[in-house]
Amino acid sequence: MSVNFIFKVIIIGEPATGKTSLVKKYISGHFSQDYRASIGTNLYIKKIKLESGEEGKIQLWDIAGQERWIKMRHTYYRGAQGALILGDVTREKSFLQIEDFWYSDITKYCPDIPVILIGNKIDLKKDISEEKVRAIGDKINADSIMFTSAKNGDNVEMAFQLISKLINERFSRKKD
Ligand code: G3D
Ligand code: MG
């Protein structure tokens, strides 16, 4: 296969929203129950084929441990071409800092990249309405709002396909 692109995608959001689980489900189709608050950054890479037939790679940056307090956050954001911002639908609180903290970081360190707001853990009982999640998505001008389950895989593949498609579209527009 000839690699036509490598897209850097960052996965951000409050601790325990399911960032690591979502990435692992996508990479291996496997959901791991044991929770370890690892430190640093987990990097994953996977081959991807766009609807157009173009093939390339998607590089996933999963921030780990002490998410909010990492001083070197800007190095993590540098060069990112797309972002998934996660909230946990079973904890409304996990959405409260999305606009002022997580999205604000994007505007500072990697502005104008496609963003998908994700409400994860839809296999469980919700603590926040879909409307409220959508309102947050509108506020941050998210390119898309999706609801996923890293446990049973709902919309997981679709989320990574969509962010790749959005990156590809934005990148092509810039070339015009
Ligand atoms: P993080 O990387 O954002 O910190 P993790 O989050 O992926 O480590 O997940 C935190 C906890 O939520 C883990 O549970 C994990 O199994 C669980 N989880 C993640 N996504 C889902 C989901 O879609 N559905 C359900 N039911 N659980 C999910 P523990 O119990 O190990 O803390
Ligand atoms: Mg994690």
**Residue with more model confidence, 33 or 164:** 164
117-148 tens-digit pLDDT = 999 999 999 999 999 999 999 999 999 999 99
CA distances to 15, 59, 61, 83, 93 from 54, in Å: 34, 16, 22, 21, 39
| Mean pLDDT of the chain, nearest integer | 89
How many Å lie between the centroid of ligand 2 and the Cα of residue 68? 12
What pLDDT was estimated at residue 118? 98
How many Å lie between the centroid of ligand 2 and the Cα of residue 164? 21
14-58 tens-digit pLDDT = 999 999 999 999 998 665 554 444 456 788 889 999 988 999 999
What pLDDT was estimated at residue 35? 45
63-90 tens-digit pLDDT = 876 666 666 778 889 999 999 999 999 9
Domains in the chain and their CATH numbers?
Answer: 6-175 (3.40.50.300)
**Is the CB of residue 18 below 6 angstroms from any atom belonging to ligand 1?**
yes
**Is the CB of residue 8 below 6 angstroms from any atom belonging to ligand 1?**
no
**Is the CB of residue 121 below 6 angstroms from any atom belonging to ligand 1?**
yes
What pLDDT was estimated at residue 42? 80
How many Å lie between the centroid of ligand 2 and the Cα of residue 64? 5
What pLDDT was estimated at residue 37? 47
What pLDDT was estimated at residue 73? 75
How many Å lie between the centroid of ligand 1 and the Cα of residue 121? 8
* Atom number in ligand 1 closest to CA 24: 7
What pLDDT was estimated at residue 171? 80
